Amino acid sequence: MFNQNRIYRLFQLINYLKARPAKSVRSIESFLDTSERTVYRYLDLLKDLGFTIERDSNNKIFIASSADTDLIPFTPQEAEYLKMLLLSSGKENQLAQSVLQKVQQSSEIELGANSLFKAHLSKIVEQISVAIIEGKQLLIKGYSSANSQSVTDRLVEPTCFTDNYDSVSAFEIKTRLNKYFNIERMTGVEVQDTPMKHEAQHEFYKPDIFGFQGKSMNKEIELQMTMRAYLVLKEEYPMSAAFIKPIPDTGKYYFKANVQSFQAPGRFVLGFLEEVDVVGSKEFIRFIQKVVKKNT
């Protein structure tokens, strides 16, 4: 999985190689503060993303940049994402792919992004953005539902993205319910000509740091964990970073936050039973004990 630091370095490398003169492998090593082997991995990744990696007569490396390349305008969501990026720690994010594609066509962009995704997801994000901005209904095509185990089209009125742009909050016309739709589970989307008609029924419940939404965050999670568990938690659930503090002189980390569901934090704890201590909330302790007993 790509983390933000790795992808930010990738973007640094893009701009570094676009700036003349051409660079030696050793200079790239120094610039990225990494090994020669990792440099070649980055170069291979750039090739996979469609960049042309060239070498001059001295075998030094550069990315050709054309001044005639048309620049693609950024959506408001992408502009906000770029602003927030350097202040966040990363996990995968659908909006990043859209940004990445445009950075390939603009040597002026010097900011990073926090992950790389399939190309079609960027188009989905952009189309959803258009529907939100223009106040139009949206047809979500081929949506795979984890709850109903079905793949269906959904007519919705989208309201906003979640913090990490991995889901969109929308009012579903058929069920007349406000739901979250995971971007990765969409085959495609189509902006409709029909304007939104149900704005008075739109609701947005901010998801907790594990991505669960609801009306109240009344469940408390309190953990002490090893560095390895801490790093995995922060990578998988980047919004958790603000709630994690190092425990002085122990090499361990302390996490405390209110959430809307025990399910995701419970899965995390069960995956690190020997590296995470559940403290505080007796309700969460009982939840973990119940799951452990059920699976033994």
CATH architecture of 4-103: Orthogonal Bundle (1.10)
Q: What is the pLDDT of residues 232-269, one digit of tens each?
A: 888 777 778 878 999 999 999 999 999 888 888 998 99
Cβ-contact 113, 104 below 8 angstroms? no
Least confident of 9-13, 130-134, 290-294: 9-13
Secondary structure class of 261 (helix, strand, coil): coil
pLDDT tier at 19 (50, 70, 90 boundaries)? confident
Residue 127's pLDDT band (cuts 50, 70, 90): confident
pLDDT at 173: 95
What radius of gyration do the chain's Cα atoms show?
22
Q: Which two tokens stand for residue 94?
A: 């659908």
Domain map (residue ranges) of the chain: 4-103, 119-201, 219-294
In tens, the pLDDT along 28-73 reads 888 777 888 888 888 888 887 677 889 988 899 988 765 444 444 4
Q: Is 219-294 assigned to CATH 3.30.450?
A: no
Q: Across the chain, what does the average pLDDT equal?
A: 77
Examine the pLDDT at 138 and tell me if it is beyond 90: yes
pLDDT band at 1 (very low <50, low <70, confident <90, very high): very low
* 8 Å CB contact between 102 and 72: yes
CA–CA separation, 242 and 289 (whole Å)? 27
Looking at residue 133, its pLDDT comes to 73
Residues ≥6 apart with Cβ < 8 Å to 268: 232, 233, 236, 237, 276
Can you give the pLDDT at residue 93? 52
Q: Does domain 119-201 have CATH number 2.30.30?
A: yes
pLDDT surpassing 80 at residue 110: no
193 pLDDT more than 70: yes
Which pLDDT belongs to residue 97?
54
In percent, the amount of the chain with pLDDT more than 70 equals 72
Average pLDDT over residues 192-214: 82
* Confidence grade of residue 114 (pLDDT, cut at 50, 70, 90): very low
Please state whether 15 falls in left (phi above 0), alpha (psi between -120 and 50) or beta: alpha
Q: In the predicted model, is pLDDT for residue 191 greater than 90?
A: yes
Q: 213: which DSSP letter?
A: -
Phi, psi values for residue 36, rounded to 5° = -60, -40
| Local confidence band at 96 (pLDDT 50, 70, 90 cut-offs) | low
* 161 band by pLDDT with thresholds 50, 70 and 90: confident
Mean pLDDT, rounded, for 112-121 = 43
